[in-house]
Amino acid sequence: MDKRMKHRTASIAAYLLFFAVIFALPLFLNSFWTNRVATYLVYSICAVGISMSWGYAGILSLGQGLFFGIGAYMLAMSLTLAVPENNPVPELMLLNMQPDAVRDLCCVTSGSFLWIPFRSLAVGMIAAVVVPCVLAAGLGYVMFKRRTTGVYVSIITLAFALIGQLLIINNQPLTGGFNGLADLALLNIGGFDFDPYGPSVYYLVACTLLAVVLAARCLLSARIGQVLKAIREDEARARYLGYDVENYKLFIFCFSAGVAGLAGMLFTVSAEFASPSLMATAFSISMVIWAATGGRASLLGACIGALIVNFVGSVASENATFQPVWPIILGGLFVFVVLVMPNGIAGIVKDWIDRSDRRSAAGKEVYP
Amino acid sequence: METFVIGLSIASILFMVALGLAIIYGTMKVINLAHGEMVMIGAYVTVLATKHLGFNLYLCLPLAFLVTAGFGLVIERTVVRRLYGRLLDTLLATWGIALILQQLIRIHFGLGLFGIHIDGLGSDLQNVPVPAELQKTLYFLGANIPVYRAFIFMVALLLGAITWWLIYKTRFGSQLRAVSVARNTAAACGVNDKRVNMLAFAYGSGLAGIAGVLVSGFKTVSPDMGTPYVVDAFLVVVAGGVGHLVGTFISAGILGEVQSFVATWLNDVYGRTVLFAVVILILLFKPQGLFVSRSR
């Protein structure tokens, strides 16, 4: 078996094993942990998006949190309106309206008409993916057409997310401000309630993760995946070879934003709130570190990285002794991953397979 | 006029932070996201020194410079020097360092775990006493100008001048410029480029520390105060053109004033939104920044 085949078999086996474990887990978990792990899987979806744009195309977006947060808000708006008491006007707007304003969504506070389409759940769900994509397309168009590359993209997306967060906090009557949107209805599709603490939400998230990973694999094994890698390695050369570098980058940037929006939407379903903290710089950068820990150029690695870092993080922050030290460990992890294992867990596993390959080969024949 | 002076002081702080960032980025192509934490540490040095050592604000300036330069030196020696040439990785690693530094302040450098609390550290907000002569306002050109804001501007000008002298008139400066233009050639000509890196990193961090002292005079001090500065300062560097001292100076001026005027006119949030929009516009029309250094 040549090396390539061996990698392929190993990676398929790893995918199968991972998803088998994921789908079997709820059988062994109580409702609290089912909900927890469902949320971690949401983070995994996000990490897949990052791995695609960063690991494969070399675009490090530090604004993924904004797209994630917008996805969360879009569905949260629909789920807010799905609560009977919030009709015709959500409570947060009643608290902020002028005394003589008409109690209708059209004009109770300035801008409240923006909520009108969200009376429909379908609009909320579609907007959760489409709005981040459109925003990313606008920003990406500006950045990539001007040939902004590398670290400038990171800084601009970082600043973009920061502004988004400030605007959300600042427009209290429209967005719930610092507190965000809580007290949401359960997601109800066709009369079926998705219970965040039951297996229904868990499997919703797990199936979405599977679908996203499959879609990403198909995309990356197609021609576009090869072109993206070429762009990552040498942008100028890819351009000279006649590829429209900007459009490829724009596409993957939007795709990754859409995935983040989708993850944000599922976050609202499983965590039952949306708040500006989802758009914080710190959160955007931690997403990147999940992907880096697992292996930036490996979709599965990114999933596993997100699971591990969040699992350890939440266990540590519940322990009174570890709680104050956890951010230090997390910071140390950033430094450690970057210095010692730049290809993450996936890289280590790959090296290990290669090495065992060489060892078993050495027994049979002697290489020159 | 008041708005203009406030804008000038915002610009001055931005300039000091951005100058350090520009030197670090220009010389060794490292994105230092822990740079904001140097501002924070500078502010905490002021808090601690005024509380425990009885220092006044003036004495804190050189002290904070030394302390933050020391921190910068340690960061460069331990982490950053292993990452030269891996731009995005420096960004992640220095963010990790930033997290560690913030948390160290929150838990009293770890002593908090053993129940020892140092007055002035921890996650609460802190305030710094400002000398009486800086609290006055000055009547100038028909407007009341807070002396403190003018003082910030003076310090920034002075630091700008010192940095200009250091970069263009000293032996270290010519080595620094040589390394940032052509590292290998400079090293081949006998410049100790590792030493230049180290000193540049420390000097840049020190500048941020001084900015931290000045910030502590008009804002409350908290462990996470540094993050907005590093983002804004980076926008300044990008808009001004990398590796261009005058560019950084002018873009800090423009962005500081824009932010100040919009903030008084609408509010703080829109101030920052417009600031960001201006940077995007600048980058749209001048992708290299306002000033392009003509070096190859």
Reference B151, options B132, B166, B169, B168; nearest CA is B132
**β-pairing, B143-146 with A192-194?**
unpaired
Interface contact A333-B96, CB threshold 8 A:
yes
pTM: 0.85
* pLDDT at site A368: 36
Compute the nearest-CA separation of A333 from chain B (Å): 7
In a domain, B177, yes or no: yes
Interface contact B88-A150, CB threshold 8 A:
yes
Nearest CA in chain B to A170: B269
DSSP 3-state of A351? helix
The domain of A240 spans 22-278
DSSP A306: H
Full pLDDT tens readout for chain B, 296 residues: 677 777 888 888 888 888 888 888 878 888 888 888 999 999 888 888 887 777 777 888 888 899 999 999 998 888 888 887 777 788 888 888 988 888 888 877 666 666 666 666 666 667 677 676 666 676 766 667 777 888 888 888 888 888 889 888 888 888 888 887 777 888 888 888 888 888 888 998 999 999 988 888 887 888 888 888 888 888 888 887 776 777 788 888 888 888 888 877 877 778 778 888 888 777 767 767 777 665 44
**What are the strands, taking DSSP E only, across B9-164?**
137-140, 143-146
Compute the nearest-CA separation of B14 from chain A (Å): 15
pLDDT for A367 beyond 70: no
Interface contact A335-B79, CB threshold 8 A:
yes
Residue A167 sits at the chain B interface (C-beta within 8 Å): yes
Number of H helices, E strands in chain B: 12, 2
DSSP 3-state of B146? strand
CA distances from B99 to A321, A329, B96, B223 (A): 18, 9, 5, 10
Compute the nearest-CA separation of B144 from chain A (Å): 30
B89-101 residue pLDDT tens: 888 888 889 888 8
In a domain, B122, yes or no: yes
> Distance between terminal CA atoms of chain A?
19
DSSP A274: B
Rounded distance between C-alpha atoms, residue B246 and residue B231, angstroms: 20
In a domain, B128, yes or no: yes
Interface contact A331-B82, CB threshold 8 A:
no
Contacts of A321 in chain B (CB under 8 A): 113
In a domain, B152, yes or no: yes
In a domain, A110, yes or no: yes
Contacts of A169 in chain B (CB under 8 A): 269
**Which is more confident, A355 or A59?**
A59
Residue A360: how many other CB atoms lie within 10 Å? 9
pLDDT for A150 beyond 80: no
Rounded distance between C-alpha atoms, residue A169 and residue A162, angstroms: 11
DSSP 3-state of A188? strand
In a domain, B236, yes or no: no
Compute the nearest-CA separation of B225 from chain A (Å): 13
Rounded distance between C-alpha atoms, residue A309 and residue A328, angstroms: 13
Interface contact B107-A324, CB threshold 8 A:
yes
Q: List the beta bridge partners of residue B138.
A: B145
Interface contact A285-B93, CB threshold 8 A:
no
Residue B107 sits at the chain A interface (C-beta within 8 Å): yes
Q: Tell me if B118 sits within 8 A of A343, measured CB to CB.
A: no
| Closest partner CB to B231 (pick from A162, A321, A335) | A162
In a domain, A338, yes or no: no
**β-pairing, A192-194 with A187-189?**
antiparallel
A328-359 residue pLDDT tens: 888 888 888 888 888 888 888 888 887 776 66
pLDDT band at A153 (very low <50, low <70, confident <90, very high): confident
In a domain, B262, yes or no: no
Q: Tell me if A268 sits within 8 A of A75, measured CB to CB.
A: yes
In a domain, B16, yes or no: yes
Compute the nearest-CA separation of B55 from chain A (Å): 31
DSSP per residue, B42-80:
HHHHHHHIIIII---HHHHHHHHHHHHHHHHHHHHHHTG
Number of structural domains in chain B:
1
Interface contact B87-A166, CB threshold 8 A:
no
Number of structural domains in chain A:
1
**What are the strands, taking DSSP E only, across chain B?**
137-140, 143-146
In a domain, A155, yes or no: yes
pLDDT for A136 beyond 90: yes
Interface contact A339-B82, CB threshold 8 A:
yes
Residue A300 sits at the chain B interface (C-beta within 8 Å): no
Residue B238 sits at the chain A interface (C-beta within 8 Å): yes
Which segments of A146-222 does DSSP mark as H helices, in order?
A: 150-170, 172-175, 199-221
In a domain, B199, yes or no: yes
The domain of B64 spans 2-223
| Closest partner CB to A146 (pick from B99, B235, B287) | B287
Reference A64, options A245, A224, A252; nearest CA is A252
**Which is more confident, A252 or A351?**
A252
Q: Tell me if A228 sits within 8 A of A248, measured CB to CB.
A: yes
Rounded distance between C-alpha atoms, residue B259 and residue B276, angstroms: 9
